[in-house]
Each structure stands twice: as C-alpha cells, then as structure tokens.
Structure 1
Amino acid sequence: MNSTGLDKTHLSEGKYERLCMMIFSCIPSSLLMFDRKLRVLIANKNFLEKSRRTERETIGKHVDDIFPSVILQYTRLAERLRRVFETGVGDRGREMYYRSPGLQSRVYFYSLTPLKDDQGIVENVLLIMDDITQQVSLREKVRQTERHLAGVVESANDIVTSLDSIGMITTWNNAAEKISGYIDRELVGKPLITICADAQKPTLASIIENLSRGETVKHIELGLKTKTGKIIPISWSFALMKDDLQTVVGIVGVGQDLTERRELEAQLFHSAKLASLGVMAGGIAHEIRNPLGISSAAAQILLECQENESLRKECAEKIYLGIKRASRIIEELLKFARPSDGRSEPTNVNDAIMETFTLIEKQLLLMRIEIKKNLYPYIPIMKAEKNLLQQAFLNIILNAANAMPDGGTLTITTSINRNDRIVIVFEDTGCGIPIENVDKIFDPFFTTMPVGKGTGLGLSITYSIIRQHEGTIQVESTVGKGSAFTIQLPVKK
C-alpha cells in the first residue's frame, strides 16, 4: 500500500496512474499540482473548464503564467508555494477572486497541501480551489439583510430590546435610549426588571418566567423608570426567539411610550366629564334646590317664631341638614369634575357606584327611570383610579337613560366571579342595540343619536378606562328588550 491507500500489487503501473488521474479528474474542486520549480505537473478537468485553458496551455507552465498578475500580487501565491515546500506545513486557506476570459469574476477558497515522500520530504504541493461564489453572494445578502434589520430597529420610534431567556438585556435601540435616558452599555447584561416601576417588578418577573417556559404574552402596560427617576407608561409586547429545536433562546420586547396618549386621553376624559355635567345639570340643580328651599323656609320660620324654643331647634336642624345635603352634592360634583391625577387608590366599587348615583339619580327619576341596586355587601377593595371608574359608570348610565326615553328600569348588580374578579352589570329595559351595531358601539365617534345630541365618545372612553384598569367590558343586547353591559375588574391590592 502507498500513501494514497491504493494496493499497487494487483495493478500495473499504467493502470494505477490512469486510476489516479480518473479520481483526480472527478473531484469537483479545481486542482493543480506543482513541482519545486513551481511548474504545473497536473491540472484536473474542473480547473481546465473553469479557467478555459487547455492541458497544453497549463501543464509545465510556471505559476506566474497560469494566474493573472493582479491575483498573484494580492495572494502572493508563488511566495506561499515556496514556503510550503520549505517548511512542509500546508496553507490552511484563503479567498481568491478570479475571472476567466469572457466570464464574470468568481470567488474561490484555496488551500495549499504538501505531498511528501516516504522520508517526509515535500515533492509536490497541491493547490485546491473551491468555487464559493454562490456562498459569498448569499453571505453578502445575509449581511445586507442584517444591516437592513439593524437599521429598521435603530430607526424605530418605539423601544426595541432583545433579552436572553432569563430576561437579561442584550440589545437596546436608539428609541430606548431616548425614552429611558440609559445608553446601551449601561443596561446590556442587566435584567429588564431593573428599570421597571417598583410596584410592577413582580408582574414583569412573572411575565419573563412565563416567556422562558414558552408561554406567550401579548400586550401589557408597565411603568418604566427613567434615568431621572420619572415613571413612563409603556405598552409592552413580547415575542419569543427559538432555535431549530423550538427551544426558547431569547425574547424580543417592543415598548410603546404612552405618555402623549395618556395626556390626550386625560384631556378627552375631562371634556367628556364636562359634557356629562351638562346633561346632569337639570337634575343637579333640582337636587340642590330642594335642600336650599327647605333651609330657606326654616330660616324664615326661625326669624318669625323666635320665642318657640323647640321650633327654633327643629328649624336649625333642618337648615343644618339642608346645607349638609347641598354641600355633599357640590363636593361630589367637584370630585367628579376634577381631572384625574393618574394615581390609583384603594377603592370600593360599591361606593364609587353610589357616589355616581348621587350626581345622576334625581335626573333619572325625572326621566321616569326606576333604579334597582343589587350591590354585593362584601365586595373586595381594589386599587383603581376611582374618579375614572365613576366616569365609566356614568357614561354607561347615561347611555342606558338615552335608550329609555319613555322611562324604564336600570338594574345595577355587583358580585365576585370564580376567578376572583369584580363583576359589575348595568342592565336596562331600553330599545336595545341592532346586531349590526353591537361590534361598533365602543368605536370612537360611533353614535346613533341625532346630530348635536351625542359625540359617540362616551362608550369609547368607558372602554379605554376599563382596559386601563386591566378589565374587560362586554355587551349583550336584544332589540326592543334592552341591553346589559358587563364589566370585569381584577382585584389589585
């Protein structure tokens, strides 16, 4: 056996050489064998076809006659061949750009392999060239795609960050830097939870844990603590990065700054409150006029009958109660009318409903609407913006009143469901909602009221408030029988 692994004992010298040449010619790489004078001894079929050369133009030629001078200069091929002959150490490989006459430039990966005799002396050097033009083209396309994607991420107006499977930040785009005040090197390698609002860190930790197990999380609002300590509301959306085995290897988070949206919502909510107050004005005026009238009458009696001590005492009590009643109505009115400060507070939903009815109940009675309240006495306390919830309740109540122009019944029920969520149902006996409009009632500016009678923002604002409290609102309606609005709110403490 020789160094090629072929058994020559059963082959004549001629057959052995022909067999070697057949193998040499069938190899899909381009091959050139050089002697110590750097002349070509063998050139395989692949090389001759790719270079458009004949054997006569190639065999016996010096390396300088085979390749263009430009290629020889930047590859220093002759120098590398001599080094392999001298050291016996092969050249592991490099890229070469080569263009045959009349053809487009091709990219080759080439290597130099020493061929040694039995004493370890290098007799020849084999140049192996593989055409990698397509791979290089694909590589460049991948790079272009990567640069394009990086440009998209860096140009985005929203926060785009990538995390590892346990929530450590690996990338942090330009928008994230502008919004948070932190540059990437200050956060890369740190957990995303470090810049989350303190009260919501447990929520984010739970989300990251669920994501690492392969669960999906769509949209959630979390506060981001900026470098200056300011808390910014961010709507987060998370997606999983998986490998070929579908193992979670990372997480992509996209966060939208809701600051401007919250400011616009606050202005819209306040405008809606003023509009609601306009609707309630008649009932409120009547509600205040009654205790003031009683107080006025009691004061006149008190002036005319100063000698009757018991009558004076009774009149004084009526004056006091009348002023207290009017004062309470005005206080509730002012609390309702003031803009939301964005702060959550411990809230009893039943109390919020009752305080809302303080403002509207007299108006409903004047509209011949009977009110039934089935309020669960053990309703749990939840964290909420009470002022906003009252606005949401008022919008639904006014919507129900508009659906009962000839009077009817409005029933309010509170309870706790199996998932420990607070359930509030507003059920009226009004005209109902046509089935084609049910899916539109929460859309901004959608209204069936005549022009000038409604803006179409009431239920849209209600939907936004309930969603802001991570709750849900649904409606069931039958034309001619009435509608039921069901709100579910999580108990947050």
Structure 2
Amino acid sequence: MQILSYKKLYLPAFAIIAIVLLLIFMIALSTYRTLNHQRETALAFLHSQGATLLYALEAAALTGMLTPGWSEDSVETLIFEFGKNKNIAYIYMYDANGIISHSSDILRHGTKTSWRPELESDNQVIARLLTSADDSQVYELAKRYSPWSHAPQGQTFPMSGSSARLPFLDHHAGDTVVLGMSTEEYEAAHHADIQHAVFMGAILLVLGTAALFFTFVIQNYYLTDKAFNQSRDYLRLVMASMSNGILSIDAQGKIISINSSARDLLDLKDKDVKAFDLKSMIDFQSSGIGKTLAESTPVVDKEIIYHKASRQVPLAMTISPIMDEDKKSPYTGAVITLRDLTEIKRLQEKVRRSERLAAVGELAAGVAHEVRNPLSSIRGFAQFLKHVLRERPKEREYAELMVKEVDRIDNVVTNLLSFARPVHPEPAPTDISGMLNHTVRLVQADANLRNVTIGVVVPHGLEKINLDGNQITQVMLNLILNALQAVDMGGDVSVEARGAGSEILALSVEDDGPGIPPDELKRIFDPFYTTREKGTGLGLAIVQMIVENHGGEITVMSPVPGKRKGCRITVHLPIAP
C-alpha cells in the first residue's frame, strides 16, 4: 500500500558516518589540489617575473651599448644594481668555462658555478627550484646573455668614439646569466594557506564529532520507534495484499493513501494520485461519500456503477468515517473499501440464464416435435387452397396469408431451436472489414427505404482475426437490424471495430434513436422479451449466446455517453491466437 504522506525520520548510523568520512576526504582532496594549484601558479608567476627581469637586463645592456662610454664596468654595475631588487636573491654571469665573471654577490666573483643548464637558443629560459642549506628556497632561471639579439638588423654601435657601421662583437658572447628569485613571499602565503587548511580541518573534526554524537541520538530514537514502524509496515503489507481496494480520503475528498487493488479498480495505475480529487471520478452524493464526510454516517455495501475505460464495472462500496484522536472534531476523512462485483454479477446472471435456458430447452424440444409437423401439414393445405382458389382472388388472399403466418411461426421455431441448441464456434482467419461491409450490404436496402445512413469504421490491423465469421455475422446482422428499427427516418447508424494490436476485439453498433428505457435494459437479452409488435424476442438472446460461446461479453450504453439519447451496443471478443 502506498502511504503518500509517509517520510523516513532517520538515516542509518553507518550512512551518516560514511557521509562524514566522505566529506573529510573530499575537503582534504580539495584542499590539497588547491594548495598544489596555488604552488604551481606562484612558480609560474616567479618564472614569468624572472624571465621579464632577464629580458630587461639585456634591454638595459643594449641601451648602454648604444652610448659612448659603455665598458666592462658598466656590465658589472648593471648586474649589481639589478641584484638590489628585494625579490632577487642574487644574479650572476658565467662564461663558457663556468667561471662567474659578474655577480651581485662579490664573494661569487671568480668562483665556478654549480649549475650549467644546456641552453639550445638565445631566447630559451630554464628554471629550477633550489633548496639551500638553511632550508630556504630560491627559484633560479638561466638564460644565454644576448643583448644584441634585441637590436634591429644593421644597427650601428659606437666603438671607442667611432660611429662606423660595424656589427658589435661583445666578448661576453656565449655567457649565461643566472637569476635567483626569492620565494619568501610565496613561502609566507603558502604557510598561511596551510594554517587555514588546518583550521578548516579542525572545524570539520568538530562537525564530524557532533555528527557522530547526533548519530547515536538518532539511533536511540530509531530503537524506540522501531516497534511502531514494524507494526505500521506489517499493516501496510496486509493492506497491499488484500484483494479488495482500500483508500483513505481527507475531509475535502483528496486521496491520502491507496492500495494497488484500488488503483486497479479505479484505473489509476499510471497516475500520480497524491492529493488526487476523488470527486472527479465518483459522485459523492449518489455513492454516500458526501453524507459520510458531512454527517459521519457509515455506508455499508453501497452498489455503484463505475465507468472504467469503455465498460461499466459494478462495485460494492463500504465507507467508514475517520475519527480524530483528540475527539475535538468528529471526523477528519473517510476510509473506503471497494469490492468488484463483476464476477458475482456474471455468475448470478449465468445462473439465471441457465435456468431460463433449461426451461426454454425443454419447451423447444416439445415445440419442435408437437408444432413443426402440424405446421408442415397446414402449410401444404394452404398452398393447395391457394392453387385451387386461383380464380377467386378474395379466398386466394386468405390462403396466401395462411402461408405467410405459418412461415413466421416456423421461423420462430427455428430461432427457438438455435437458441436451445447452440452451435460450437469454429474460429478461422476473418477479415473484419470485409465481414462488416458484407453485413451492411445485407441490410442496405432496408436502410435506403428509411433514408438511414450506415457508417463503417475499421482500423488497419484487423485483416486476419480468428473467430467464427458466420456466427459473428449473425450477431452484427441482428444488432444492425435492431438499430435500423430504432432510429427515425433519416437517422444515423454507425458500425465500428476497435482493438488492433490488443487481445480484445470490440465491435460496436451505435444509433441516434430514442434509446432504451432504464427499466428495459435488464430484460433486453431475455428470451421472448420484445417491444416490437412483430418481434420474436429471440434476436438479442441469440446474440448474447453466440458472444458468450466465443468467451466474450456484451455491454449496452443508453443513452450514449456525452449524448442525451441513442444506444451503443458493444461486443467484446477475445482474439484467438
């Protein structure tokens, strides 16, 4: 049974612990990735800054070369001044032998460098992160010293006061400049980030501890609530297993809970019934639901007819008011029990019909023996009189009338025998469209005399349906003839087939006549019951017998749904494999 307002009040303890651990892992992973990304970003910034400084050194050297008075001391001064930048730990230049020729640190002069990277071009910059003996880190960048690479082609450099246009040959060609960038600011920021991560981890630890504490609190609540939940779940299983439909509604008629059987009975399988208004499906006044909600009056086994899809379903409805626990208000809704009476009604009708058939069968056997033989004699004598009295028109007319009446009685006897001795159906592939159009052609002359239009609607997919074509033709012929006799001059009769691709074939005949009065609906299939002067009362009885022999059923709607008159008779036949 589906309890629509039911919500879980707890999570299992292991689920909460798992969530906390997962949260710790995710935050730790995120923090690690953030710190690592920040480290990479800082190093990238140092690299960019250092490369810019190296290019700036070369640009400054190039500018100095364009002035008279540029000398070796000028290079020394330029490197020394660059080394004064607070973000530069040191800067030096070494020659092809690795000997430091110029340095911001005087102590490095003449020493041999410990790092000689392989540089493939003048513009290539190679960097490394160096950890010194005191655990401080320096970001070193190395680039080949080539200030003349920045000069326009053909630039004239003054040499010893001369302005001759000669290519400048610097004796530092092939030397390498190493720049050490200080990482103190980066290290300070990195340590601040680590402290922040530790602080957040401590907060998370507190939250996790609190979560575990509340886990035990909730677990204790679960243990105390477990007995109630087990009882409720057991009750739900019992309700869901019941063959009767059970649902509860509030005081406004909205569905609160419903079991699967009620869903099936009300055709709500694929619908969301949360807060569904039951008044849109069942009349509260005629069913007694409205009285129960208004006056808290229970209703026991109230029979109603529920329209489900294309058929009517008889239901027995029991309605009980829901009393409020505090007794301050007399009721808060109702519990409705639904019981399908289709099978009971079918069995009752089958019993009544069996009793009628037994009586009719005995009568038919006697009629066939006692009436048919005298009728043959009477008909022969009437035919003789008609021949003898051919010169006397008045008497001949009486003789012809005798023959017609004898034939009519014989037809009644024949129908009676057909009703009493049904023929077992012999299914065979049948084209439904061809069968219905053939049946309509049989009655088209009668329809034309009354100016009645007969329409036939048959969808594709019903070309080869296994059924007894002759017997179903007889069924449809009877139904169409009844419809023709029911409509007025110029009326309409429609014949329709449905069920392509399904297991049920529905054949319906609808007319726009006055319809069938409610007090006659229950009797139209009774043998010998007729409302027409010349009717035998066996047509619909034979129709029902043939349909039941095919394992089907027949439904009657009068008036037609959505109209004020008319009648629709539908034959539902299982499609044999």
Is TM-score (shorter-chain normalized) higher than 0.5?
A: no
Give the TM-score normalised by structure 2: 0.32
Mark the structure with the bigger radius of gyration. Answer: 2
The structure whose residues are more often strand, as a share, is: 1
Instruction: Give the structure, 1 or 2, with the largest relative contact order (CA under 8 Å, sep 6 or more).
Output: 2
